[in-house]
Chain A
Amino acid sequence: MKYNVDEKGYYGEFGGAFIPEMLYPNVENLRQNYLKIMAEPSFKEEFDQLLKDYVGRPSPLYLAKRLSKKYNTKVYLKREDLNHTGAHKVNNTIGQILMAKRLGKKRIIAETGAGQHGVATATVCALMGMECIVYMGEIDIARQAPNVARMKMLGAEVRPALSGSRTLKDATNEAIRDWINNPVNTHYIIGSAIGPHPYPDMVTRFQSVISEEIKWQLKEKEGKETPDYIIACIGGGSNAAGTYYHYLHEENVKIIAVEAAGKGVHSGESAATSALGKEGVIHGCKTLLMQTNDGQITEPYSISAGLDYPGVGPMHAHLHKTGRAEFISATDDEAMNAGLELTKLEGIIPAIESSHALAVFKHKTFKPDDVVVISLSGRGDKDLDNYIKYFKL
């Protein structure tokens, strides 16, 4: 079984490029060039250098001793929370801004939900001196004020998405419309492993530095490159894609994806796409998505804005369908408590997205000699408001 993208842009039956003709020239240009550009020695050198000196990579692989003791297994945390800007998102935006420059683009657009990808995009645009426009749902703008301020400080223009439900899905629609309106000078930095081919593959490759590092870090610490389990939270799935990438074909490594169940998978307020979604087309790719019987895309819910997306990247849809990855889901309550538990046990306040991955211990028991790697995708500073409200701190 092959889990990577094929030459037509599909992961099994998922993926492809379901785009209006207006986007075809840009997407086709990217498709024809992304692998070539990524393989150029000068690109690799610049990318690696920025990841090292600007982002602060490699991110540590940390043996969480007190957490391990509590669950009677061996838990390593991949510390993406220690990256510049506070999450894994910047790995992708560094890669794509370098890509945009080589494609001769002058103007950058992005979508953002909680604002993490928006901040990561505004950051690299400041770094490269490029114009940056970030689309963000009007409702998200109101509830993520600090990130809106960050983006503005970084020189980005934050444009409210006023259509539909005025959240991430609609911000993505607006970014796509902007790209249709500005077909020549603009590059669209998609923040997750979603969108038309080649985006899911490109984003995954930029994020794959995560599993590349885990391999040699684990070799140093455990004498072998492969853990027994590799675990990540999943919304659109960029962090998960990067965390799994170099293990996809290591069949002895068990892959676990933790989705956001919100107030419960069947509560009507959930973002557990693999459980609730059906095959469909959203934002340019065929994947699993939450929708009505009539094919209208429905609004997901999660306490974590980063997991609040009605679809899942096409690679993940394929991993789900083939059974390569085990999909579980964690509720708001389970995630919040897992986040607090990590804070108390290890002195690390995780992003609420990452807290979902940590909630795996509520659903699975591991053996004492299992090596379990969990991707800690981001830090919790941005979520303090939520933590304060939830725990009445």
Chain B
Amino acid sequence: MKYNVSNLKQLEAESIHIMREVVAEFENPVMMYSVGKDSSVMVRLAQKAFTPGSIPFPLLHVDTTFKFKEMIEFRDQFVKDIGARLIVHTNHDALERIGHVGNWTCSMCADLLKTQALIEALKLHGFDAAFGGARRDEEKSRAKERILSFRDSYMQWDPKNQRPELWNLYNTRHVKGESFRVFPLSNWTELDIWHYIYAEKIPMVPLYFAKKRPVIKRDGMLLLAGELNKAKDGEKVEEMMIRFRTLGCQLCTGAVRSKATTLEEVIEETMLARNSERQSRAVDQDREGSMEEKKKEGYF
């Protein structure tokens, strides 16, 4: 029927509405770009929201320097292709203080190189709204996150004091120093993301596709072996067909064994397998309720 609107079209329209509303009501928005699949979808939606104009805000990549090399290459090419403005921010101060990669743990990285770095970057540029690609279906504590999530001047999130969000009327009012995290993909599920990537032919970092790669088994995870992950005593480097379900830092992003080398195969594997995607990230499993702690501090 002519007036039928599919799930995906509705989600697209909703996300575009959110982006336009934010651009209309905030002075200085920015879009967090992590190079991952959700970010890529978000950037595509931003292009669509303002076509035939260009994206009216910069992209911000918080680089821990522990990211996969392929991600950085992909990022630079992608940004060039779409003609967007990219800001890369790294917490150099912390990198110098802690020093050698061996001194870093996953939670230190998340705290200093992601959370602190992000807060620094937002303050430095005076951004009052930051789009993030988080989805509510990813993790339990996100199920109650607002689409426009208010942060006080310390950039903290108070789960007990969130503004009610009704209809599609977003309350953007704030005073100087306060800001918002905006999640235009809140209502998308993993299947929606994959479907959209497929339908829109959105380019993806090759790490999402299976290839023979050197890995180390550590704490039940498969880590990519290389400069940053060297085999310790009792560990060995093995060649395996693996791919990544989520992309983060090399230190804490585990791979999964896979034969999926094409997008269709990835979708088949992901959507017909019943494991939720964040499992391969160590950060969620530190302790029960860990993501909530991180969010309170300003991590996405």
| A and B associate | no
A contact residues vs B (CB 8 Å cutoff)? none
Q: Which residues on B are within 8 Å of A, measured CB to CB?
A: none
